[in-house]
Each structure stands twice: as structure tokens, then as C-alpha cells.
Structure 1
Amino acid sequence: MAWRDALDLYCERTDASFWSEPLNAVTNAGFLIAGADMRRRLGRNAPADLQWLAALLAMVGIGSFVFHTVAERWASVLDVAFIALFVLLFIHRALVRLFHWDATRAAGAVLATVSLTALLAMSVKSAALNGSELYLGPWAALIALALGCPPGEAKHWLGRAALLFLISMILRSVDLRACDALPTGTHFLWHLNNALVLWCGMRSLLATPPMERKLP
């Protein structure tokens, strides 16, 4: 295995050229738009953790753009890394801000999510998922946050995010099987829908009362 190995994982790619996945590449703009909107909503004096989340939301799009254009093994790591960083930081801050956990207890829950994700990725092996088993752990964590969150606006945003993420995983999973009927595949819709998932997740944190936004 070499870091410069070319990867062909999605229906839209037909060769190793830079623009072989145009829709998969340009739809990453959804993450940039979502990140910019969150940054606007936060304002200049927003807490550092929320600013980092808004920045990571945009970086997810940049990492994914690099992967869907360069399409080499090292770029796939970059793609997954920004998603993982956003998910882990989001879970931690949601537990602190919405559930009033202390930072150490929330960190333990993040580690549990990592363990669950690894367990599901290794045990749930299905060609039908097309690699989406990697996202079952984060989806389970998002469902738990939505169910356990106190009633209010934040709970509604988390519920929307959990439902949309299910749709995202379906769109990602059926990409290769849709090639005959849809040459572009469905992965580009995963990008657009996932940008909305992360945006909804951020909206749940913005729905936190101002006093809670100052938590460490």
C-alpha cells in the first residue's frame, strides 16, 4: 500500500483525472456555505469551541474536495480526518453545553463513541453499506443526544440532524448500485445532505441559552 495509490470508490469517477468527479467535488461547497453561515451567526465574540466547530465544518468540505479531485490514498485520510475531528468535538461540546456534563466526563463519552464506531466498523461488514458502517457509531451517538436532550429547540435540531444523517448514509450506500440508472451516482447528494446535518447539529448548540454558551 502506497500513499500515492489512486482510488476509485465512487460511481462518478471514470478515470484518474483531477475532474473525474465534478459533482462530488463541487458539492463540497455545501460545507463551506454551512460553515460561513455558522460563523456569521456566531459573531466575532463567540466562544472558541463554537468557532472551532464552524471552522471544522468548512474544513470538512475542503478535505472532501481534495479527495474527490486528487483521489489518492493520502487524500482519503485527509477527508476522514476533518469529519472525525468535527464529530468528536461536537459530541463533547454538546454533552457539556446541553447536558451540563463536566469536560472529563464528556471526554469519556467521546472515547466510548470512538470504541463503538470501531466495533461497528469491524463487525458490520456488508457490501450494501459501501463503507458507511464507519458512520454507524456517530449516528448512534447523535440519536442518543437527540433522545436524551431536554425538551426545547436544541432537541428539535438534534432530531432533525439524526433523521437527515440516516438519509445521508442511505445516499452514500447506494452510490455504486445506482450507476446504471444514474451515471453520476448519489454520493454528491451525501455531501449536500451531510452539510445540512452538520448545520443542524451546530444550530442545536446555538440554541443553548447564553449562560450555557460560556461553559468551558
Structure 2
Amino acid sequence: MTDYVDGYCERVAPGLWGEPLNSLSNLAFLVAAVLVWRLAKGDRTGRVLAGLIGFVFVASTVFHLLATRWAAVADSVAILGFMLVCAVVFARRYWSPRHAWLAAPAFLALTVVTALLGGGLYLGALIGLAAFAAVLAFARDAYWTHFAVAGAVFALSLSLRALDRDVCGYVPVGTHFLWHLLNGVVLYLVSRTLVLKNRP
């Protein structure tokens, strides 16, 4: 678990400051966490979402500073945790408060299936955002556009993440830092929408 991980263009050797842009761009998550915390105004759901975004900030920063396998696992766990909670919050609001917890294993199963099919950890999240937007659009809820925009931004960020290793010869710093910046926007948009819709 302490093995060295070199998975990004920007990192060319071990070292605490081997990925300056990838490390600093994680501040987008911190900004998102603060904004969601302030928006929540004591709402427990909003505070939980803000705390989870803060966990993503810490885990991703540590990973890009240390570049070790255990830190990579922590990074993935933080992001997955946020996605699972979002699925439950959405299900509680639009399906059944009593059975909302079922959304977590359902989303986890979707993530496993898409990963086994070669879609990686995040294709399930993109499908989930599309599903959220579709459910609200069917219900004629104006907030469907919020999830649609979040999904579009996430699709762009996912593409940039995938391109990182392919552009090393042209862009030495890679594109992974843009994945962080855009995902900060995505996490804020999703959390903001869930907080606003969770209010009476």
C-alpha cells in the first residue's frame, strides 16, 4: 500500500511537490466545501455534503502530494462516499424516505458493473447525474437543468482526466488539474441543488 504511484503527466519523479498543479487545484474542492457549508445554514444534509467535499479535498491533496497506493485508495473512497450519500439524499427526496438507503447499494452495484465493463470508477456517476436530471425533467421540476449542467461539466472533466496521459508529449503538466477544477464545480452544483431541494 506504500508503493509509489506515477499515474499523471505532471509527476516525473517521487517527491512531495512532484505535482504542484494537481495538488493546488484541489483547492477547488475546499472552496466548494466552504460555499456549501455556508449555504446549508445549519441544515444537517448540507453540512454532511460539505464535510464530504472537505474529505475529498484532503484525500486528493494527500494523494497528489505523496503519490502512494494507500493515498490513491483514500482518494477514491472519498469520492465514492460523496456519490453514495448524494444518491441516498436524492432518493429520500424524490422516491421514498423510508427506503432511500437502498439507493446506496444500487449505485454501488452500478459503479461496479460499469467499472468491470471498462468504464472506470466514474462512469456510474455520470449515468447517475443523467438519471437525476431525467427524473426531475419527467416530474417537470425546474431543477432538472441543474443536474443536466452538472452532468455536462462532469462529462467534460471526465474526458480531460482520460486525456491526461495522452497529451504528455504536448502538454507536460497534463490535464488532470482541470479534472479537479471542474469537479469542484460539479460537487458544488450537485450539493447546492440537493440542499435547496431538501428545504421545506
TM-score, normalised relative to structure 1: 0.87
The structure-2 alpha-carbon separation of the partners of 1:209 and 1:8, relative to structure 1 and needing over 3 Å to count, comes to: closer
Structure 2 equivalent of residue 27 of structure 1: 25
Structure 2 equivalent of residue 127 of structure 1: none
Instruction: Tell whether 2:48 aligns with 1:52.
Output: yes
Q: CA deviation at 1:109?
A: 2.5
Instruction: Tell whether 2:181 aligns with 1:186.
Output: no
Instruction: Tell whether 2:88 aligns with 1:101.
Output: no
Q: Aligned-pair RMSD on alpha carbons?
A: 1.3
Instruction: Tell whether 2:28 aligns with 1:39.
Output: no
The structure-2 alpha-carbon separation of the partners of 1:161 and 1:103, relative to structure 1 and needing over 3 Å to count, comes to: farther
Counterpart CA distance in 2 for 1:103 and 1:202 is 21
Structure 1 equivalent of residue 199 of structure 2: 210
Q: CA deviation at 1:101?
A: 1.8
Instruction: Tell whether 2:52 aligns with 1:63.
Output: no
The question of whether the paired residues in 1 share the 8 Å contact of 2:36 and 2:191 is answered with yes
Counterpart CA distance in 1 for 2:19 and 2:120 is 23
What is the identity percentage for the equivalent residue pairs of Structure 1 and Structure 2? 34
Counterpart CA distance in 2 for 1:23 and 1:80 is 19
Structure 2 equivalent of residue 135 of structure 1: 122
* 1:119 pairs with one of 110, 113, 134: 113
User: Where does the alignment leave 5 or more consecutive residues of structure 2 unmatched?
Assistant: none
The question of whether the paired residues in 1 share the 8 Å contact of 2:146 and 2:193 is answered with yes
Query: Which portions of structure 1, spanning 4 or more consecutive aligned residues, are displaced by more than 4 angstroms?
Result: none
Q: CA deviation at 1:209?
A: 6.2
TM-score, normalised relative to structure 2: 0.94
The structure-2 alpha-carbon separation of the partners of 1:60 and 1:103, relative to structure 1 and needing over 3 Å to count, comes to: farther
Counterpart CA distance in 2 for 1:11 and 1:210 is 43
Q: CA deviation at 1:152?
A: 3.5
